[in-house]
Structure 1
Amino acid sequence: MHCAACCSRLITAAAVNNRSGRPPPAPSPQPVANRRWHHTLALRCVAGVLSLSLFNNTHSLGLAHEIPANYDHPKEQETELEWMVAEKCEEQTAAETAPELATSTVSNEEIVDEAWSIVNDSFINSGNSNWDPERWRQKREEVLRNPIRSRSRAHDIIKRMLASAGDPYTRFLTPSEFSRMAKYDLTGVGINLREVDGEDGSTKLKVLGIVLGGPAHTAGVRQGDELLSVNGESVEGKTAFVASSLLQGPKETYVTVEVKHPDCGQTETIRIQRQVTARTPVLYRVEPMEDGKTIVGYIRLKEFNALARKDLIIALKNLQDSGASYFLLDLRDNLGGLVQAGIEVAKLFLDEGNTVIYTVGRDPQVQQSITADSTPLVTVPVMVLVNNHTASASEIVATALHDNCKAVLVGERTFGKGLIQSVFELHDGSGVVVTVGKYVTPNHVDINGNGVQPDFLKKPDWNEVAKRLASCRLHNS
């Protein structure tokens, strides 16, 4: 599973799956009995999220994913994000959590070898690193040549080993850093949703993970439940990301969900009190033009969090009702956030079938073409403001609108962050962040390290914008 963008990981990050199996790493000098394969924490806002965008001080070993800085976690509740196996519906008891593997049963060599294997299996060279498969195999022999006497020594070896890959985004997470990352909750009620194919061919939304003792769990939601509706609104046909945003709301308010329990198929309506909320990243206003008749709708999007799409829809509709003839989307200083949020925002402006982004990687799950699946909410000309701090998810939106002739870009060259990271859990509770793929624009441009050059350095006249977009459409036809 891969982040995010969010995600992506999610995000990245956000929907968490730290119990999924991976192929076994190469044998280490001291194999352990009953070995479990290394866990994957795909930091997506939900399963299906491209990636959690990882833009930060790339040499820091602190929390290095783009959970918004203003995302409030409950101070009084320090429950870990645990995983539960569904019990029979009639019992309605808390499911058992998967036991943690005792650190003492995993050798230091095993931990180092596990980290090496993850990179060997998943890492993609972004073009700016000096990673070479043969040198990487030699690195394993070097680090495992002598006994590793302590766990801290093993962690130091992993740090240096990952640094040798030459990729600033591939790095080590201590157990405490990984634990904090695992508490990321997109919905505000302590669950993560996943899109699952049903037997009838339809896509269902199921509870992938749940915070034990959290709002949803306390109210009666269980691992494996299928989500049917939120506040009376059916989620049929909706993505997990959209459904998660419906669950969001002000702290201590209530949301009502309808779920179908596994096994017996019982349907239950449950009222949940929210505990965590993401703050709106959207600011908007009307800006009358000099003629006093034409109105421009100005929208400032500060980051891509769980509320970005939902609140942007509200802003667009309110500005349209106010008579906006054009839209100015300000992405300056927006460093990204959840990549899936960026994808969903871009879709609001695109025609059905338009490409949002292409993703490439060694894992087939990373190789995909993401397209818009509905009619656009906005059809009038759009101007997107960018600068050298417009990055990652912001660049996805900017290039999707630009390459599909929906907007012109104005300002400075963007930052150039086009990589996908996944976060993998190691057996001792630590983790590694690994670059597993990259995305390219609808026009097949790799922006990583290059950024995007705007069409204009200063705001043009709207008539010039309309002409540029018309010419773009003619060229693409």
Structure 2
Amino acid sequence: MVEMFPLKSADAAYGKIRGMLSTLGDPFTRIISPKEYQSFRIGSDGNLQGVSLFVSVETGHLVVLSCVEGNPAARAGIHDGDELIEINGQRLDGFDSESAAQRLRGQAVTSVRVKLHRGNGSGSGSDIKEVKLPRELIRLSPISSTFIPHRTPDGRLTKTGYVKLLTFSQTAATDMKNTIHEMESKGVQSYILDLRNNPGGLVKVGLDVAHIWLDGNETLVNTIDRDGHMSPINMANGHALTHDPLVVLVNEGSASASEILAGAIHDNGRAILVGHKTFGEGKIQSITELHDGSALFVTVAKYLSPALHDMDQVGIIPDV
């Protein structure tokens, strides 16, 4: 039986659909508006117009997760851990991270005023800071890297390659391949892969990055549906770009594709994990774009690591 609802607006329709979805008991099965869906897709191509400030909800507060180096928020002295209080004079009580992000984004050459409470005990005098940030066209390069020279216990000079992966955008795997090739050519003998505060992105890209570090036909991740049917996702005749020692850094901001990548590398014996327990986002969702540009997200399965550890709402516990 089909029941018809006379609705006077799109918001009323979304509200009715949200009510129906809430009966499923899964807060991640949801409908989002066209504007929210557009924002969701920004991360996949690596370009946006805004201030390069990424926020997350922690115990009811909007906290700065990261700032892209060299972009407006970082230049203004905003740091990880600062709490976002107001945007253009509007208090953010009860706002989620996506709603805040929408207010931070906007056309390049415009600006936005934000008020923050300095986190991590930073600052002296008043802990409240208000700054005006110019919006810019920002290319989110997913990789930053450097060489760390040091001496081994026996006195030899050696190099460690440090690679920070910010997000799993479309170019992340290619950019990482290029970075590792360059580091190998410069004589790097060990690596640090930093996944701290990487919120995820395209899962397929996460699996592509795992191929850079692993050989053979290893299992990268397992999927399990609501009926308990499990299917492994395996590499096919993989060839790692390097077999040098590897450490992976993770923390509570490492989520989704970051956790899949960390689990794949760790459980296959390729690296040790150092840091804090990861976020715990292991759901697989089907995304359907509707005719008005909104989108329906439906949880259909979840991920288990190669060693069958449940990541969802649990996270990955590091070795150190």
- Shorter-normalised TM range: 0.5 to 0.7
- Structure 1 segment 67-106 matched on structure 2, within 5 A: none
CA deviation after TM superposition for structure 1 residue 163, in Å: 2.7
Q: Distance in 2 between matches of 1:406 and 1:185?
A: 27
Contact persistence 1:352–1:371 (CA under 8 A) = no
Corresponding residue for 2:246?
Answer: 382
Secondary structure, aligned partner of 2:259: helix
Q: Distance in 2 between matches of 1:387 and 1:344?
A: 22
Contact persistence 1:288–1:294 (CA under 8 A) = yes
- Structure 1 segment 162-241 matched on structure 2, within 5 A: 162-178=21-37, 186=45
CA 1:166–1:356: 2 relative to 1, 3 Å: same
Corresponding residue for 2:8?
Answer: 150
Summarize deviations over 1:219-250 as a string: whole Å, max 9, x none.
xxxxxxxxxxxxxxxxxxxxxxxxxxxxxxxx
TM-score normalised to structure 2 length: 0.63
Corresponding residue for 2:257?
Answer: 393
CA 1:184–1:165: 2 relative to 1, 3 Å: same
Q: Distance in 1 between matches of 2:176 and 2:311?
A: 25
Code of the residue aligned with 1:309 in structure 2: it is A
Question: Do structure 1's residue 369 and structure 2's residue 237 form an aligned pair?
Answer: no
CA deviation after TM superposition for structure 1 residue 425, in Å: 3.5
The gaps in structure 2 that reach 5 residues or longer are 48-136
Corresponding residue for 1:69?
Answer: none
Q: Distance in 2 between matches of 1:168 and 1:380?
A: 42
Equivalent in 290, 309, 314 of residue 173 of structure 2: 309
Code of the residue aligned with 2:232 in structure 1: it is S
Q: Distance in 2 between matches of 1:175 and 1:288?
A: 48
Percentage of matched positions with identical amino acids: 37
Q: Distance in 2 between matches of 1:429 and 1:335?
A: 24
CA 1:300–1:367: 2 relative to 1, 3 Å: same
Q: Distance in 1 between matches of 2:8 and 2:276?
A: 49
Secondary structure, aligned partner of 1:289: strand
CA 1:422–1:175: 2 relative to 1, 3 Å: same
* Stretch deviating more after TM superposition (392-401 or 371-380): 371-380
Corresponding residue for 1:196?
Answer: none
CA 1:430–1:367: 2 relative to 1, 3 Å: farther
Q: Distance in 2 between matches of 1:413 and 1:182?
A: 27
Contact persistence 2:46–2:169 (CA under 8 A) = no
Bigger strand fraction: 2
Q: Distance in 2 between matches of 1:450 and 1:378?
A: 31
- Structure 1 segment 227-376 matched on structure 2, within 5 A: 279-290=140-151, 291-361=155-225, 368-373=231-236, 374-376=238-240
Contact persistence 1:297–1:324 (CA under 8 A) = yes
CA 1:378–1:363: 2 relative to 1, 3 Å: farther
Q: Distance in 2 between matches of 1:395 and 1:318?
A: 26
CA deviation after TM superposition for structure 1 residue 175, in Å: 4.4
CA deviation after TM superposition for structure 1 residue 306, in Å: 1.2
Q: Distance in 2 between matches of 1:327 and 1:396?
A: 19
Summarize deviations over 1:56-76 as a string: whole Å, max 9, x none.
xxxxxxxxxxxxxxxxxxxxx
Q: CA RMSD in A?
A: 2.9
Secondary structure, aligned partner of 2:189: strand
Identify the structure with bigger relative contact order (alpha carbons < 8 Å, sequence gap 6+): 1
Q: Distance in 2 between matches of 1:304 and 1:379?
A: 23
Corresponding residue for 1:434?
Answer: 298
Secondary structure, aligned partner of 2:301: strand
CA 1:154–1:391: 2 relative to 1, 3 Å: same
Q: Distance in 1 between matches of 2:34 and 2:283?
A: 24
Equivalent in 447, 452, 458 of residue 311 of structure 2: 447
Contact persistence 2:276–2:317 (CA under 8 A) = yes
Corresponding residue for 2:2?
Answer: 28
Larger radius of gyration: 1
Secondary structure, aligned partner of 1:396: helix
Q: Distance in 1 between matches of 2:249 and 2:44?
A: 30
TM-score normalised to structure 1 length: 0.43
The gaps in structure 1 that reach 5 residues or longer are 1-26, 30-108, 110-146, 189-275, 457-477
Q: Distance in 2 between matches of 1:187 and 1:412?
A: 27
CA 1:287–1:439: 2 relative to 1, 3 Å: same
Contact persistence 1:148–1:154 (CA under 8 A) = no
